[in-house]
């Protein structure tokens, strides 16, 4: 179970922020044969993603997870902002990435991170790359989209074409009453995303402009399947996501609907191993997708992979992926299926944003015109 630990007092074992700790909690007397019933490509894989709200209701959380008996569990919100990946199976490599938020780790402590583990099931079942992310909430839509690009570059850096999971709390909350908060919404997209929630904005504009649209599946609805509900229901949002690649989703569920154990719902997926998942969040299949971006400058820098160990595992801060000089911050690789005539695809997002701006301007003009007509009618009626 690799995870980012809490800070400890001076008289306790202290780990530097960003270190990964690997625990094997399986009893040493158990032989590998005890896992044989679990190891089968015919048996659906149960995977969970859950923000546990710093573990305030830890006993209830543990009881709930024990009942579900999942194969892979991704937890967010442990301690300060720690992430954890739990698995019944061996994890042969772990890594973490932190370039979504500039911070002095030694002074400020652990902040938002991305965690990766390779899960080895064995007995002919292919390995799984599991990614667990927690995005910043005190930023705008633009900031979180930058984090999404960092996450996808992190995934691409492993050059792994097998089964993958991207789970996490993306904190897509820049809508409803949050638009009035300079803490939660601090960029121009608080206005440019009017009339839609941030999850809907992602689904309509951002996800199709990323490699997630090419082959990944997100089985939950961006509007109806909200995972948080605060302030008497005025602030509802789907902030938790479960992207899967090369799996067929054969079942899904949302638990903790009363928010008794955490302020987030628990997302559960039943997954079958498959090499043909159909379409993802967009309309392109992996067989016809022309990704990735072929611009050599947009290729991410390689990240160190850690060896399996039962001791504390320390990793240096990985280098931030090299950005193409002609790419803007938001247009950094990976963008979806760039045309052959535009290998860098630097203008793809700008074109999409221009269309969004035009749409918003049209809606604002129509709204202003309607308001003007209403005021005119009221003024005439008073006369």
Structure tokens at 267: 């997302």
Assess if residue 23 is contained within a domain. yes
Across residues 193-217, what is the average pLDDT?
Answer: 74
- When pLDDT is cut at 50, 70 and 90, the band that residue 181 belongs to is low
Give CB contacts under 8 A, 24+ apart, made by 188-193: 188/140, 188/142, 189/140, 189/141, 189/142, 190/140, 190/141, 191/360, 192/356, 192/357, 192/360, 193/141
Structure tokens at 81: 């902002």
The whole-number pLDDT of residue 269 equals 97
The whole-number pLDDT of residue 274 equals 73
**Lowest-confidence range among 79-88, 131-140, 215-224?**
79-88
Report pTM.
0.67
Assess if residue 168 is contained within a domain. yes
The whole-number pLDDT of residue 68 equals 95
Assess if residue 11 is contained within a domain. no
The whole-number pLDDT of residue 200 equals 83
Range picked from 70-74, 190-194, 229-233, 277-281 for highest mean pLDDT = 70-74
The enclosing domain of 260 has a CATH number of: 3.60.10.10
The whole-number pLDDT of residue 132 equals 94
Assess if residue 325 is contained within a domain. no
Assess if residue 26 is contained within a domain. yes
The residue ranking higher by pLDDT, 343 or 42, is 42
- Counting residues of the chain whose pLDDT is more than 70, the rounded percentage is 50
CA–CA gap between residue 56 and residue 58 (Å, rounded): 6
- When pLDDT is cut at 50, 70 and 90, the band that residue 223 belongs to is confident
CA proximity to 251, closest of 219, 274, 273, 228: 219
- When pLDDT is cut at 50, 70 and 90, the band that residue 249 belongs to is very high
DSSP assignments along 83-144, one per residue: EEEEESSEEEEEEEE--SS---HHHH---S-EEEEEEE-BTTBPPEEEEEEE--SSS-HHHH
Q: Please state the φ and ψ torsions of residue 254, each to the nearest 5 degrees.
A: -125, 125
Mean pLDDT of the chain, nearest integer: 68
Tell me if 133 sits within 8 A of 41, measured CB to CB: no
Structure tokens at 330: 């938001």
Range picked from 10-19, 50-59, 252-261, 369-378 for highest mean pLDDT = 252-261
Q: What is the domain range of residue 256?
A: 19-31+42-275+353-370
**Lowest-confidence range among 22-36, 53-67, 120-134?**
22-36
Assess if residue 131 is contained within a domain. yes
Q: Please count the structural domains in the chain.
A: 1
């Amino acid at each position: 179970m690799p995870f980012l630990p809490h800070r400890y007092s001076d008289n306790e074992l202290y780990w530097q922020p960003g270190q990964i700790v690997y625990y094997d909690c399986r009893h040493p007397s158990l032989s590998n044969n005890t896992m044989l019933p679990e190891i089968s490509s015919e048996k659906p894989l149960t995977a969970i993603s859950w923000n546990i709200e710093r573990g305030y209701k830890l006993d209830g959380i543990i009881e709930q997870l024990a009942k579900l008996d999942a194969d892979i569990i991704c937890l967010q919100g442990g301690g300060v902002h720690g992430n954890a990946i739990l698995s019944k199976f061996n994890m042969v490599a772990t890594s973490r990435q932190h370039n979504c938020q500039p911070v002095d780790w030694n002074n400020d402590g652990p902040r938002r991170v991305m965690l990766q583990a390779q899960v080895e099931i064995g007995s002919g079942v292919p390995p799984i790359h599991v990614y667990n992310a927690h995005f910043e909430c005190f930023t705008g839509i633009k900031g979180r989209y930058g984090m999404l690009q960092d996450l996808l570059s992190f995934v691409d850096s492993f050059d792994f074409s097998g089964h993958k999971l991207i789970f996490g709390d993306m904190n897509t909350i820049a809508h409803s009453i949050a638009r009035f908060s300079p803490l939660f919404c601090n960029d121009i997209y608080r206005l440019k995303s009017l009339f839609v929630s941030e999850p809907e904005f992602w689904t309509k504009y951002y996800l199709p402009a990323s490699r997630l649209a090419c082959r990944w599946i997100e089985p939950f609805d961006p509007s109806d399947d909200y995972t948080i509900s605060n302030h008497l229901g005025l602030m509802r949002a789907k902030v938790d996501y479960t992207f899967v690649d090369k799996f067929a989703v054969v079942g899904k569920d949302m638990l903790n609907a009363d928010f008794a154990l955490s302020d987030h719902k628990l997302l559960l997926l039943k997954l079958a191993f498959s090499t043909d998942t159909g379409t993802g969040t967009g309309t392109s299949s992996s067989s016809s997708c022309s990704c990735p971006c072929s611009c050599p400058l947009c290729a991410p820098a390689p990240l160190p992979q850690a060896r399996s160990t039962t001791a504390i595992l320390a990793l240096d801060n990985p280098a931030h992926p090299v950005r193409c000089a002609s790419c803007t911050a938001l247009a950094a690789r990976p963008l979806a299926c760039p045309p052959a005539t535009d290998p860098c695809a630097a203008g793809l997002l700008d074109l999409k944003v221009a269309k969004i701006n035009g749409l918003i301007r049209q809606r604002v003009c129509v709204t202003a015109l309607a308001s003007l007509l209403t005021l005119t009618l009221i003024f005439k009626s008073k006369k």
